[in-house]
Amino acid sequence: MSPIKIGMIGFGRMGGFYLEQMQKSGKWDVVYICDLSPESREEARKLSPRSKVITDEQEIFDDPEIEVVGLFALADSRLSQIEKAVASGKHIIAEKPIADCVEREWRAVTLAENAPLFSTVNLYLRNSWYHNTIKEFISSGQIGELAIIRVCHLTPGLAPGEGHEFEGPSFHDCGMHYVDIARWYAESEFKTWNAQAVRMWNYKDPWWLQCHGTFDNGVVFDITQGHVYGQLAEKQTHNSYVDIIGTKGIARMTHDFKTAVVELHGVTQTHRIERPYGGKNIDVLCDLFARSIESGRRCDALPRFRDAAVASEYAWKFIRDAQTHDLPAIGDQQTLQQIRARRRTMQNGYGLLRKRA
């Protein structure tokens, strides 16, 4: 089939990732790249000279040849763009969250679910080889009944005040991925929760949070997330894992952002699998979406807007629950200023924003 014509809106860090993978796949024709930043537009012209680089997103929606829109700007712009995409009959790939507040996210869900169009959102953990390997092992019965889901993701990562304000504090902007993957494993809805957080460096929002609770089916979870892990350490590191406990066996994963290691300990099988981490798995998302358009049938593995809305809503609920408990502020603004200054000059690090010329 001919390459799928797409118009991209937003060419920051994530937009660059999508362009790279679409150029590699051969299934996509990036006709437009839209961004309000002159620096981003200049970068887009260098990386995709065949694309029309614009500032007015309406050109994309008005072009009848464009089949798909990619929504990669900040969350406050997404609902209006989803409305335009539905009105102009274009399929949608969106970053998460799909809007800048829960109410608007559910409006986006309603629009998408009532339209004869394909839509998906980048809940990238669902597309990872390691989580799918573990899910298959659970389904095989090797660990018995699923009982406990433990998820941890601690990195230096995005510092408070660096950006993403419409995406919310750390546990929402990043942590909603882990809220989503816990629900994906449980195949159930959240029932109870209790959260504790810390306002690191005396910032207005918590930047570390742990929540534990139960799902409707009785499975227990705990999720720990924060971009607080050794921000000023001489050599930065991280701690990221998933630990799945059943009534008979376990499955677990760790990674170093280069290699992921899955260990499976079942009643008759024991495996250790080591493979490249895979990053944001945007290649998988784009391939699944292209296959859906080519076949006219939505791939079941594609995350839905509804999944993103649920994860976002519960991430906010967990944050608000933490705010009803003791919410200590540890550290000071001077340290936070040192962290921001260091990250501005770092060449390699966790979650660095793309530097502007």
Model confidence over 277-288: pLDDT tens digits?
A: 999 999 999 999
pLDDT over 80 (residue 353): no
Q: What is the helix (H) or strand (E) element at residue 37, kind and residue range?
A: none
Residue 353 is given by DSSP the state: P
How far apart, in Å, are the Cα atoms of 180 and each of 89, 123, 175? 28, 8, 9
User: pLDDT at position 355, please?
Assistant: 58
Question: Residue 300 has which token pair?
Answer: 């079941």
Give the model's pLDDT for residue 164: 67
pLDDT at 336 > cutoff 70: yes
Q: What is the pLDDT of residues 143-178, one digit of tens each?
A: 999 999 999 999 999 999 887 677 889 999 999 999
Q: What are phi and psi of 240, to 5 degrees?
A: -135, 125
Distances (CA, A) of 250 to 148, 187, 267, 270, 336: 10, 17, 9, 10, 39
* Dihedral sign computed on CA atoms, order 334, 337, 343, 344: negative
pLDDT at 354: 65
Q: Within 10 Å of residue 345's Cβ, how many Cβ atoms?
A: 8
CA separation for the pair 91, 168 (Å, rounded): 26
Query: What is the share, in percent, of the chain residues with pLDDT greater than 70?
Result: 99
Mean pLDDT of 340-356: 84
